[in-house]
């Protein structure tokens, strides 16, 4: 290490030094890189490759057949389940992201201000995000059970989970309940980082609560919001455990999601080719989401 402190004596030495540091750095990064390579980079490439093959029960004996883009063509032109899952994922993202953010901000501001029962309030907002999705699914399955479930006490005629026009909404309510508290946490820390002098100035200027929020709090929370958006958007595509318990994507695929469809194709139906193609679509979606955020917006959220 001491080499780094030796004063620079010419470009060559500097380059030699940088190479030494580079070796050291790569050495330190190697363990992480190995695991990233095996479980993140390679599988992406593998999925792309496998998506060009017909590889299902019919080809079990003969081995995979190269079919070019046929899997993608099927997905985008014929596969109704894919279309439904794609649409459902989009709806979940479009609804849960802003709602979770709005609720998260409200929760954070309230949890920061409130005097009575501060701890209890924070606990009750935040605990859902600590529960496993499968446990949440079990609890909410009973809440939604018609007639004698918890909501059955309000109206026994509600059949939220078996009605294709309400099932997604019912699941979204659950997802928001689970996620909003987690979002709140980031806003609590975001609020703490706002310089209190700003509020002081606003107070002297006679700004009311609404003005203070829109002119100071919300703009100052922008980095937090960007970060939270990435988390919640990717979450919208990753949270599928509940489907396994609650609906299996039904009725009529009205609650299916892309990742769960991958699971069904890959493991229930042993259709590796199609599952790979859906995985690739999913990866592209996630990459686009993050790249749009990352390259068009404020890079400080990662380069702190």
Name which of 69 and 302 has its Cβ closer to another protein.
Answer: 302
What CA dihedral angle connects 126, 127, 133 and 136, to 10 degrees?
-120
Name which of 58 and 69 has its Cβ closer to another protein.
Answer: 58
Ranges of beta strands (E only) in the chain are 53-54, 65-66
| Site for another protein contains 114 (CB under 8 A) | yes
Cβ atoms of 171 and 246 closer than 8 Å: yes
| Site for another protein contains 16 (CB under 8 A) | no
Instruction: Quote the least distance from Cβ 302 to another protein, whole Å.
Output: 7
| Site for another protein contains 157 (CB under 8 A) | yes
Name which of 93 and 107 has its Cβ closer to another protein.
Answer: 107
Q: Which residues in 176-205 contact another protein (CB under 8 A)?
A: 177, 181-182, 185-186, 188-190, 192-194, 196, 199-200, 203
Residue 209 neighbours by CB under 8 Å, 6+ apart? none
Identify the residue among 64, 145, 220, 222 touching another protein (CB under 8 A): 145
Identify the residue among 67, 222, 234, 297 touching another protein (CB under 8 A): 234
Name which of 10 and 303 has its Cβ closer to another protein.
Answer: 303
| Site for another protein contains 216 (CB under 8 A) | no
Q: How far is CA 57 from CA 35, 53, 258, in A?
A: 31, 13, 21
Q: Pick the closest to residue 124 from 106, 138, 111, 139 (CA basis).
A: 111
Q: CA end-to-end span of the chain, whole Å? A: 25
SS3 156: coil
| Site for another protein contains 102 (CB under 8 A) | no
Tell me whether residue 249 is exposed, middle or buried, using C-beta atoms within 10 angstroms of its C-beta: 0 to 12, 13 to 18, 19 or more.
buried
Q: Which residues in 49-68 contact another protein (CB under 8 A)?
A: 50, 56-58, 60-61
Identify the residue among 69, 98, 124, 292 touching another protein (CB under 8 A): 124
Name which of 90 and 245 has its Cβ closer to another protein.
Answer: 245
Beta bridge partners of 119: none
| Site for another protein contains 77 (CB under 8 A) | no
């Amino acid at each position: 290490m001491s080499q780094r402190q030796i004063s620079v004596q010419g470009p060559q030495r500097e380059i030699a030094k940088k190479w030494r540091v580079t070796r050291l750095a790569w050495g330190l990064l190697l363990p992480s890189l190995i695991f990233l390579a095996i479980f993140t980079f390679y599988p992406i490439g593998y999925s792309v490759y496998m998506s060009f093959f017909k590889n299902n029960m019919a080809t079990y004996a003969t081995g995979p057949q190269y079919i070019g883009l046929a899997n993608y063509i099927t997905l985008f032109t014929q596969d109704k389940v894919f279309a439904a899952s794609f649409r459902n994922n989009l709806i979940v993202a479009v609804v849960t992201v802003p709602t979770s953010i709005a609720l998260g901000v409200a929760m954070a501001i309230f949890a920061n201000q409130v005097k009575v029962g501060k701890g209890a309030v924070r606990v009750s907002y935040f605990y859902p995000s600590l529960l496993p999705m499968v446990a949440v699914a079990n609890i909410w399955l009973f809440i939604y059970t018609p007639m004698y479930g918890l909501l059955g006490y309000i109206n026994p005629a509600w059949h939220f989970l078996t009605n294709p026009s309400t099932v997604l909404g019912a699941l979204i309510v659950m997802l928001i309940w689970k996620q909003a508290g987690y979002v709140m946490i980031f806003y609590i820390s975001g609020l703490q980082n706002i310089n209190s002098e700003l509020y002081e100035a606003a107070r002297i200027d006679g700004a009311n609560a609404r003005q203070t929020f829109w002119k100071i709090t919300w703009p100052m929370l922008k980095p937090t919001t960007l970060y939270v958006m990435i988390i919640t958007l990717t979450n919208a595509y990753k949270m599928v455990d509940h489907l396994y318990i609650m609906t299996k994507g039904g009725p009529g695929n009205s609650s299916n999601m892309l990742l769960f469809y991958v699971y069904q194709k890959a493991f229930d139906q042993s259709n590796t080719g199609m599952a790979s193609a859906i995985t690739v679509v999913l990866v592209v979606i996630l990459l686009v989401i993050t790249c749009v955020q990352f390259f068009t917006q404020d890079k400080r959220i990662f380069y702190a």
